[in-house]
Amino acid sequence: MKQQQNDKSIKGGHSPFCGLVIILAIIMAAGGCGRDKEKKALAEAAQARAELVKAKAEAVRLKGEVGYLKEKLQTADQAAEKLQEQLNSLHKEADTVTTEADDVVQERDKLKAALAEQTKKTDELEKQVEQLKAIIQELQTRIERQKVTEQSQPAEQGQTGK
């Protein structure tokens, strides 16, 4: 209720202060005060009215500024909320990327282990191949000796049998 009275006084109604000034001016004038005192009271009343007008104008300006600042605050709150959502999204994305990177590292480690195992098996197979080549070479040498021996034996048998 008091707020409504204040709003009325700001919007063009008379405030209690203004009425008090007028009453004082009337009392001074009716009390037999001189013309100078009446003029002085009227001048003070006029000054008080002028100050009241200035105060109303300042109140209107401040209300406008408060409204503007409320809008700015709301805009800033919305921007902060949007940034927080983006930050949360980036944190989730970073967590996903980190998990994927960990998975890639684990897969790389598995592949390194598999490569090392395959390299070891390949080395073992190459050694076996070299061993088999040596055995084959030895067998071929034996076979050649055997052939030479067999060829020379029939010739010897033929010479002894004559």
Which pLDDT does position 75 carry in this prediction? 97
Express each pLDDT in 120-145 by its tens digit: 999 999 999 999 999 999 999 999 99
Domain spans of the chain, in order of start: 2-149
* Nearest of 5, 17, 2, 1 to residue 55 by alpha carbon: 17
Q: What is the mean pLDDT of residues 8-13?
A: 46
Which pLDDT does position 153 carry in this prediction? 75
- Taking CA atoms, 110 is separated from 96, 105, 116, 122, in Å, by 21, 9, 10, 18
8 A C-beta contact, residue 35 and residue 58 = no
Pick the more confident residue, 12 or 37.
Answer: 37
Q: In angstroms, rounded to a whole number, what is the distance separating the alpha carbons of residues 37 and 24?
A: 11
Which pLDDT does position 150 carry in this prediction? 84
Query: b vs e for 33-69, b when ≥16 Cβ sit within 10 Å of the residue's Cβ?
Result: eeeeebeebeeebeebbeebeeeeeeeeeeeeeeeee
The DSSP secondary structure of 18-55, one letter per residue, reads HHHHHHHHHHHHHTT--HHHHHHHHHHHHHHHHHHHHH
Q: What is the mean pLDDT of residues 15-22?
A: 62
Express each pLDDT in 68-112 by its tens digit: 999 999 999 999 999 999 999 999 999 999 999 999 999 999 999
Residue 50 pLDDT exceeds 80: yes
Pick the more confident residue, 32 or 53.
Answer: 53
Which pLDDT band holds residue 16 (cuts at 50, 70, 90)? Answer: low
Which pLDDT does position 24 carry in this prediction? 63
Statement: the pTM of the whole predicted model exceeds 0.85? no
Residue 62 pLDDT exceeds 90: yes
Q: Give the end-to-end CA distance of the chain in Å, rounded to a whole number.
A: 155
8 A C-beta contact, residue 61 and residue 85 = no
